[in-house]
Amino acid sequence: MKRYTLYCLSFFMLLLSFSACQSPKKEVKTTKDTVMQRKLANYAKVKLNADLSSLSEGHVKLLSHLLKAADAIDELYWKQAYGDKNALLNKIGNDPDMKAYAMINYGPWDRLDGNAPFTDDFPPRPLGIGFFPSDINQNDFFAIPGNEKFEPLTIVKKDAQGNLKVVPYHKAYKDQISKAVDHIRKGAEFCDCPDFKKYLLQRAEDLLTDNFEKSDALWLNLKDNKIDFIAGPIENIEDHLIWTKYSYGAFILLRNMEWTDEVKKFSLLLPYLQKNLPVEDKYKSETPVENSDIVIYDVLYNSGYCNAGNKLIGLNLPIGTERVVAHSRKVHFKNVVEAKFQKILQPITNLVIDEKQRKHVKFNSFFQNTIFYEISNSLGISQTINNKGSVKDALKEHHAIIRELKNDVLRMFFITKLHEMNELKDVDLMDNYVTHMADVFRSVRFGVTDAQGVANMIRFNYFKEQEAFKYDSKTGTYKINDYKMKKAIESLSKLVLEIQGNGDYEKAAELIQDKGYIHNELLNDLYRIQRAHIPKDIVYDQGDQLAME
């Protein structure tokens, strides 16, 4: 349908052009609206602001060096995500819009369109992108002698004779890492927080060895540092050849003490929440991870993977790579969440949510919903109750979707419980429910090609069947029924937890097949959102306030 619509539109534009040529006496004014400009319109430019008034002169000098270190990490990531950035920009030529879009995507592949090339001048994205030679396949990879090739912080390249060899990151990216390390060390000289200074110096050492265990341990114990800096391996989802290699990124962050204190109490409720899961006791005997903490930051600067395409609103750190991380920290970025709320969620709300219920879509509720998604990740079931082993092993390829669905629906179950306990004061439960509903339209615009997208649709279709909301075809808006929403949240939570606890592969497959798709009604709403020129994500105008010495 979409391709047919585009064809008709193109034909219509051709007719207009032809008619204009036949009427030379009339001046025809056209508005430049190229494909690249429409793609760029999917990103709303946002200036990253935070209150830096309390920072000392030493902090300012520290920030200046951390900015340069982050830029060195950005150079490194370009090599991982594409290769030679300057060669790419030169090949693009004099098209400023295409260059701008290449900078957002760190290459010629559109991250909002399944990494498809956004210009015919470039081939499909190689499975291994910068981690491997573009012409090797999995058989070539497995033929490389030894086990070093499986190490997550290594690349594979060809030597002068064309033989494949494994190179650790700190050697493959020596120039960029050396530059980053130099500025981290110089910046540490101006650091007035002893624990943070110790962490920075250890992080510099770890970047030179690809072993981050010591600096990770120091970072997890940081409590009083206003500024924070994260640089190194962030995620391993960009290697599509063997799904192992990690992408590098960097954050410069300002700790938001007020919001951190606000959410800290929620992590203390994990044992209570685990005991109150809506299933029989045999499904909730596991102990939640109580040593995880939540820290809220404002982002000052992003680079590398952290700045590519869809912007992160939070993540769990440190990453595991080859070792098990027993202690983790959930970090969330308040100013990024707020920017997405203002630029994306509010305009969507005004288009698809019942007019009388739009008042319930609020930033505080959006932020709470986001925080509780991560809290839900620490709760539930990891081992089956019937000797089928881990939930991951029992559910196989369906595990990721069911896990995302569990996190998604349990967050609303717990928020409902906390409202009943009067732990969420000055907030109407309908604020959380309606905001959650509106957010479906924001998140599902990224498609159903990944686990989170499929989980979104299972939840949406399940709630529709349970009449948790109703669609008004005349106004094109959705209205939430709070009583039925509460019941649907509880019943879906129970269903998902039982699938996990029973290791029920068949039930998981049935749920995904039956509800994990976008139906026509919703598809039409997504088209309406797109036609309204509501962006899908944000792009940062960042760094100006840090670039001073």
Q: What tens digit of pLDDT does each residue of 482-529 get?
A: 999 999 999 999 999 999 999 999 999 999 999 998 888 888 899 999
**Is the residue at 518 inside a domain?**
yes
> CA 360, CA 368: separation in Å to the nearest integer?
14
Query: Structure tokens of 384?
Result: 């089956």
**Is the residue at 225 inside a domain?**
no
What one-character-per-residue DSSP string does 449-469 give?
Answer: SSHHHHHHHHHHHHHHHTTSE
**Is the residue at 454 inside a domain?**
yes
Quote the crossing angle between the two packed helices 451-465 and 429-443, to the nearest 10°.
130
CB 458, CB 515: distance < 8 Å: yes
Query: Structure tokens of 120?
Result: 């015919």
pLDDT at 547: 55
**Confidence class of residue 79 from pLDDT cuts 50, 70 and 90?**
very high
Helix runs in 93-233, H state only: 96-105, 138-142, 169-172, 174-188, 194-207, 213-220
**Is the residue at 398 inside a domain?**
yes
Which of the pair, 216 or 263, is modelled with greater confidence? 216
Query: Structure tokens of 223?
Result: 């409590």
Is the model's pLDDT at 122 over the cut of 80?
Answer: yes
User: Rounded mean pLDDT of the chain?
Assistant: 88
**Is the residue at 101 inside a domain?**
no
**Is the residue at 277 inside a domain?**
no
CB 267, CB 292: distance < 8 Å: yes
Residue 229: φ, ψ to 5°: -145, 125
What's the pLDDT tens digit per position in 355-403? 999 999 999 999 999 888 878 877 888 899 999 999 999 999 999 999 9
pLDDT at 289: 61
**Is the residue at 403 inside a domain?**
yes
CB 473, CB 528: distance < 8 Å: no
Helix runs in 309-381, H state only: 334-340, 346-352, 363-377
CB 141, CB 242: distance < 8 Å: yes
**Is the residue at 528 inside a domain?**
yes
Q: What is the mean pLDDT of residues 177-205?
A: 97
Query: Structure tokens of 348?
Result: 């969507």
Q: What is the mean pLDDT of residues 88-111?
A: 95
Element (H, E) at 37: helix 35-40
Domain housing 443? 328-540
pLDDT at 258: 86
Query: Structure tokens of 275?
Result: 């005991």
Number of domains in the chain: 1
